[in-house]
Amino acid sequence: MRSDTMKSGLERGPHRSLLYALGMDEQEMSQPLIGVVNAANEIVPGHMHLDTVARAVKDGIRSAGGTPMEFPVIGVCDGLAMNHSGMRMSLPSRELIADSIEVMATAQPFDGLVFIPNCDKIVPGMLMAMLRLNLPSVCISGGPMLAGEYQGQSVDLVSVFEAMARTRKGEMSTAELSALEKKACPGCGSCSGMFTANSMNCLSEALGLALPGNGTIPAVHSQRLRLAKESGRRAMGLLQEGVHPGDIVSQDSLHNAVALDMALSGSTNTVLHLPAIAAECGLELPLEVFDRVSRNTPNLCKLSPAGPHHLEDLNRVGGVPAVMGELARNGLLATECLTVTGQSLGHNLDQLQERASDGEIVRRLENPHQEDGGIAILYGNLAPEGCVVKQSAVAEEMKVRSARARVFYSENEAVEAILNQEIGKGDVVVISFEGPKGGPGMREMLAPTSAISGMGLDREVALITDGRFSGATRGAAIGHVSPEAAERGLIALVQEGDTVRIDIPGRRIDVELSREEMETRRKNFTPPQKEVDSPFLRRYAQQATSAARGAICRTY
């Protein structure tokens, strides 16, 4: 066992003494040591219950003859960090999470690991560490939050963001907003729509790194605890079978994750996280793959913010296996891929009784919401390396449009202009210098997109940025523009009043400027100066790569 390097042999007497200090006995010390990576804290609603999930995981490990040893990681709540400087810490925290787990699992040589994430950058950060360490491992999330209810309607966090703008516009009273605030997020779990955390928790099933049900079983259901126990047992099973994450993740399983992403209409943040996960095992997942898979994979689900359903609704009709079953039925998945069950994806789907599409929450391929996937990759002179849009959440009349540029060099300036009703029909809000280097940190921008929707402009106004968007974003929100402004991308040179041409079906985005005008502007342009007080963010800005490559940090 790997842990024997820490606990076995005469020279390890001092090490055993320290293990005895923990209350460990000889029996526990003789068993495999399984690290339990727990993101629990009292800050993130998706994490407030993870100690309960961890107890179930540890029960599963013990029942299979292992000894669990739990340790923590940090976690940023993107909702609480939104629309202020704290959001600059969110994407970089993904790298810190992966690095800190590597430190813990190398300094203390565990035999296997169980990862317990549940929000935004914590899920990909843990999956990156899982592939980097390549120990027998299972991911078991804390599960999604239930949707709230207000005035007879299902609501969630994005409902509150949009209500803020309606209140500013005078369409809601502050008392109504206050009542909605108390109803939208009814308890623990990752926010209830197909936002980033839930997207990644679902895709972990397609990657083969989590058991069926990981993405959709609600946080408050006892079935979540049973799944946690089984995840603990499977970590021991994988150790005995000699199966590692590197045996599971392949180009085919990455293809499966992208195909599921397109069918589910997942968060655009997945286009950052899946390439980062792939890179940890020496694989590449360029934007071209997302575009190619999107063109061939229909959009089968419209969960919030794209539609009225939530994760609990998807779970009720069979969860991720129902979607993957529909894709597999039509030859759109590589079903021979190995998973943490110890069996192939195809075998898992055959064993599940509720994998048939219900026809509404999960559409059949003969009747999709749209013929191509939920995410589209656009190219053009504004984004020669590509940019990303959640096309399933874009109104039809916004998919092809020429618009007048309204230019801002920060998210905060743009939000203020939108809420002050300075943005009108036919405008496109352009926010530059918010990319991985220029932010620094590539802030998530739910506030401006929600303000546009709340002002009733989501069918009239587009938003383009080298920053990124929350999975809760809807409307013509086009992000990850690469190269970013700080890397001398053309988005830095767009000026007030320029015409921007958007063609989502044609996968194009261009600003109507002559080459001569571009060069003139480039020679005369002085970039805005940002004071960056954080040493951590200064280091991240130096190391971060393009969003087109997942905004991963360079290794030297």
Q: What is the 3-state secondary structure (H, E, C) of 163-209?
A: HHHHHHHCCCCHHHHHHHHHHHCCCCCECCCCCHHHHHHHHHHHHCC
Note the pLDDT of residue 355. Answer: 56
Q: What is the pLDDT of residues 147-170, one digit of tens each?
A: 999 999 999 998 998 898 889 889
Note the pLDDT of residue 555. Answer: 67
Helix 251-264 / helix 196-207 crossing angle, nearest 10 deg: 140
Note the pLDDT of residue 354. Answer: 57
- φ and ψ of 113, to 5 deg: -140, 145
| 208 neighbors 347 (Cβ within 8 angstroms) | no
CA distances from 402 to 175, 455, 480, 492, 512 (A): 39, 21, 20, 19, 10
Pair type for strands 153-155 and 148-150: antiparallel
Residues 6+ apart with CB under 8 A from 179: 150
Collapsed DSSP state (helix, strand, coil) of residue 260: helix
Give CA–CA dist 377/271, Å, rounded.
Answer: 10
Give CA–CA dist 422/150, Å, rounded.
Answer: 30
CB atoms within 10 A of CB 422: 11
Catalytic residue list contains 470:
yes
Note the pLDDT of residue 501. Answer: 98
Classify burial at 516, counting beta carbons within 10 Å of its beta carbon; exposed 0-12, middle 13-18, buried 19 or more: exposed
| 448 neighbors 84 (Cβ within 8 angstroms) | no
Note the pLDDT of residue 253. Answer: 98
Question: Active-site residue among 199, 470, 482, 546?
Answer: 470
What is the pLDDT tens value at each position of the chain, 556 positions in all?
A: 999 999 999 999 999 999 999 999 999 999 999 999 999 999 999 999 999 999 999 999 999 999 999 999 999 999 999 888 999 999 999 999 999 999 999 999 999 999 999 998 999 999 999 999 999 999 999 999 999 999 999 999 989 988 988 898 899 999 999 999 999 999 999 999 999 999 999 999 999 999 999 999 999 999 999 999 999 999 999 999 999 999 999 999 999 999 999 999 999 999 999 999 999 999 999 999 999 999 999 999 999 988 999 999 999 999 999 999 999 999 999 999 999 999 999 999 998 855 567 889 999 999 999 999 999 999 999 999 999 999 988 999 999 999 999 999 989 899 999 999 999 999 999 999 999 999 999 999 888 988 898 888 989 999 999 999 887 778 899 999 999 999 999 999 999 999 999 999 999 999 999 999 999 999 998 888 888 999 999 999 999 999 999 999 976 5
CA distances from 430 to 123, 405, 516, 530 (A): 30, 6, 22, 18
Give CA–CA dist 128/246, Å, rounded.
Answer: 11
Note the pLDDT of residue 295. Answer: 95
| 219 neighbors 144 (Cβ within 8 angstroms) | yes
Note the pLDDT of residue 450. Answer: 85
Give CA–CA dist 164/277, Å, rounded.
Answer: 35
Collapsed DSSP state (helix, strand, coil) of residue 1: coil
